[in-house]
Amino acid sequence: MRIRVLVLLLVVAGAGASGIWFAAPVGAAVLAPVALDCATMPCDEVMPSAASFRPVEGAPHWEALDENGDVVGWLALSTDFVDLKAYSGKPLVTVVGLDREGIISGARVVHHSEPILLVGIPESALTEFVDFYAGKSALQRVVVGRARKPDVVAVDAISGATVTALVQNTTVLETARTLGGQVGVFDVASLSQGHFVEEPEPWTFEKMLEAGALGHLVVTNSDMGLEETGLEETGPDKASEAYVDLYFGVVDAPQVGRSLLGENTYKYHMGQLAPGEHLFVIFNRGDGSFKGSAFVRGGLFDRVRLQQGLREITFRDTDYWNLPEAAADDAPEITEGAIFVIRGGRFDPGAPYELIFLGSRYDHKGAFSRDFREFIATHQLPETLYVVDKTATGIPWRQAWLNRRVEVAVFSLYLLLVAGVFLARRYTTVDMKRLGRLHLASMLFGFLVVGVYMGVQPSVTQILTFFDSLIHEWRWDLFLSEPFVFISWSFILVVSVVWGRGVFCGWVCPYGAMNELAFKISNKLGFKGYELPDSVHLKLRNLRYGILVLLIAVFLWDSILGERMAEVEPFKSTFFVPIWTREWGFILWWSLLLGLSFTMYRPFCRYVCPMGGGIALLSSFRPLGPKRRAFCSSCKICTRGCEPRAFRSDGSIDPRECMSCMECEATYHDDKTCPPLIGLLKLEGRTDLTPRDQKKMDKLRDDVASI
C-alpha cells in the first residue's frame, strides 16, 4: 500500500512540476520601442508600395516615398497616438501605415507582452488578425465579432485571446485616424463623432458659467510685468487689476449662441458655416487687448490662438467679426469682443483645447523692442452641451458585451438558477434523488455549454491580474473586457463568501464538472475509486495554497513567467486550444490529470488547483453551510458518503474542502437515513414508552429541532 501511495504521489508531483515548469524558460525581456525607426522595424511590410522612408522633422511619424521621392503615405507607431493597454497591462506596440487616400496600407505588431500569445496561441494568429486591416479605410467602422449594421465590417476574434483582439482593433484604427488627421488626410470632425445638445431656451450668463460652457483667462497687469515700466506711479492697486479678462468658448449650441450673440446674429453666422466649422467667441473685460493690430496689417490675429493636441489653430481677418457686446441680459459689460470661425475641420468640440494669449508690452530697451509673455487656459465643452458618440470601436469592453449579449444572458440565467438551488435549500434538499438530478444537470450544462461551447473557464490568471492591478494600476476596463470572466468572478465572490467554494467548484466550474463526470462514469462501469490515506491526503491538499502563493509572487516579479507557470491549470488545453496542437509536456499533464479523474474523485481540484485554493480561502467563514445537529458529531453516516472528504474528526464540515453537493443536508431531512430521525420515528410510533424511552424521545426531538 505504501509503495502504491508513494508512486501516486511521485506521479502527481512530477506531473505538477512538468505543468508548471515546462513553459518556464523565458528569454531576456525586450524593451518596448519608444519611437518609430524604419531602419529596424518592418516598415516595408506595412507600406509595400514605398521605395524608401524618412522621418518628419518635429513630428513622430515617418513619410513613405516612391522611387521618384514623392510621398505615397505615412507610418506611425501606435504608442505615439494611442494610450490603450491590453490584457497584460501594456500596449500592443504596432506600426501602422496610411496612404494618401486614407486607406490603411498595413500594420505590424513590433512588441507586446500578452502572455496568452506566448503559450498555446501562435504569434501567427496575431499577424493574421492585423493583416485584415490592410486595404480598409481608416474611417471604416470595424467590430470584433459579429456586425449587426450594414455599414460595419466584422473581423473574427483571435480564439482564446478576445481581449487582445479588441484592443488591437482599436489600436490600429485610432492610430490610422489620428495620423490621418495630423497629416491632413482626414478632417478632424470625421475622426471623433458627436453632437451638440440643443435646448430651445437661451441660457443666462450665470448658467453658462455654472455649466462650464465658457472658459476663463485672467492676466493681471502684474502678470504682464507692467509694474516694471512705471505702473507703480499710478498706484499699487493697479498692478492687481486685469490686463485682459477673457471669456471664450464654442457657441454652436443654440442655448449659448443665441444668448451671447442674439437671435439674428447667431442665425446668420450658423447659416454660413460649412461642415466641420464652428463658431468661437472671445470677449474681454480688461483694459488691454486680445486683438492687437497685426491683423490689420497682415490679416493674422497674433495675440490669440487655439491648441488642441498637435494641432494649432490661428485666426485670420477673414474668420473674424466684431462683437461689441454680449447679448445676455445678465452678461457683464465688455471692452472688446470677437466672433471667429474655426475652419478646415481641424477642431474636435468633444476634446479639451487650450486658448493661448500672447501678451506684448514695450520694454523700454529700444524704439521697437517689446517683451512677449504667453498665458494659457484649458477648456472643454461639458457633456450638457456636446456629447461624444462613444461607439463600440472606441470602447473595447462595451463591444465585447454587445457581441455576446445572447450568451451573456444565458450564462447569467444559469448562474441565477444555481444560486436559486441554494436559496431554496429548504425545498431542493428534501429529496435526495431530486437534488442529485439538479446537481448532474448543472454539471452537464457547466461542462458542455459553458466550457465546451461558450469557452468560459475562470482561472488563477484572473487572481494574478487582480493582485497586479491592486499594486500597479487598477483598470475596470480590463476586468470588463471579458464579460464571462467578470460575471463568473462576481458570482464566485458572492456565493463563496455566503455558501462556500462548492457552489462554483462543485456545481459550475467546467473543468471540475468534467472531472466529476469522469469519476461518475468510472463508477457506473464498475471501477472502484481509489483514495489516499488521511496521513497523505491531509497534507497534500495544502499543495494548492503553496502553488497559489508561488504564482502570485512570480507574477508580480515577472508577469509573463507567472502566466506561463499558471499553466499548471489544464484549462487552456481543455477549452481554448486543441490539445493535439500543444507541446508534449502539456499533453502529458492534461492526459495524466484526466486519467486520474477516472480513478480518484477530483484529484486536481482537491490537491493542485490554485484557483480553487484562492476560492477556498474565501469560504473559510461561510455563514450558510449545510445544516447540522448535535448528534452529527458522533454519527458517521454523512462522513462515509462524502466524496471530497470534507468532514473533520469532530463531525464538523471544513468549508475549504466542501464541494456543496448538499447530500449531507438531504440526509439531514431523510427519515429513512438520518439516525435521529429514524429513532424519533420509531419512538413516536410506540405506545408503551417507559420513562427512559420518553426521556430519549424528548432528547431526540430537541436534537432534531436544533440547527
What pLDDT, on the 0 to 100 scale, is given for residue 161?
64
What pLDDT, on the 0 to 100 scale, is given for residue 116?
59
Q: What is the pLDDT of residues 462-472, one digit of tens each?
A: 888 788 777 77
What pLDDT, on the 0 to 100 scale, is given for residue 152?
67
Contact of 665 with 628, CB cutoff 8 Å: no
Highest mean pLDDT among 153-157, 277-281, 314-318, 349-353: 277-281
Sheet containing 52-55, strands listed edge to edge, beginning at the edge strand earlier in sequence: 52-55, 62-65, 71-77, 93-99, 104-111
Q: Are residues 66 and 162 in the same domain?
A: yes
Within a domain: 664: no
Given a cut of 80, whether residue 560 has pLDDT beyond it is no
Q: Count CB-CB contacts under 10 A for residue 492.
A: 23
Number of domains forming the structure of the chain: 4
Query: Domain ends where: 186, 220, 251?
Result: 186
pLDDT over 90 for what percent of the chain?
34
pLDDT over 70 for what percent of the chain?
79
DSSP states along 523-578 = HHTTPPP----HHHHHHHTTHHHHHHHHHHHHHHH-HHHHHHHGGGSTHIIIIIS-
Mean pLDDT of 249-254: 94
What pLDDT, on the 0 to 100 scale, is given for residue 14?
47
Q: What is the pLDDT of residues 380-393, one digit of tens each?
A: 999 899 987 655 44
Q: Are residues 131 and 182 in the same domain?
A: yes
Q: Are residues 309 and 337 in the same domain?
A: yes
Task: Provide the residue range defining the domain that includes 227.
Answer: 194-388
Q: Are residues 379 and 236 in the same domain?
A: yes
Query: Domain ends where: 354, 388, 422?
Result: 388
Within a domain: 381: yes
Q: How distant, in Å, are the alpha carbons of 183, 559, 645, 669 from that of 627?
A: 71, 43, 17, 10
What does DSSP assign to residue 588? H
Confidence category of residue 316, pLDDT binned at 50, 70, 90: confident
CA angle, residues 584, 588, 592, in degrees to nearest 5: 175
Q: Are residues 313 and 229 in the same domain?
A: yes
Q: Are residues 684 and 619 in the same domain?
A: no
Q: Which three cell numbers stand for residue 423?
A: 436559496
Mean pLDDT of 565-593: 86
What pLDDT, on the 0 to 100 scale, is given for residue 579?
82
Higher pLDDT, 441 or 685: 441
What pLDDT, on the 0 to 100 scale, is given for residue 639?
76
What pLDDT, on the 0 to 100 scale, is given for residue 396?
62
Q: Are residues 164 and 200 in the same domain?
A: no
Please state which of the ranges 128-137, 363-372, 567-576 shows the lowest mean pLDDT: 363-372
Query: Domain ends where: 602, 630, 658?
Result: 630
Q: Are residues 456 and 567 in the same domain?
A: yes
Q: Are residues 222 and 321 in the same domain?
A: yes
* Alpha carbon of residue 222 to chain centroid: 48
The residue behind cell 482537491 is 606
Contact of 391 with 415, CB cutoff 8 Å: no
Q: How far apart are CA 355 and CA 280, in angstroms?
A: 11
Confidence category of residue 20, pLDDT binned at 50, 70, 90: very low
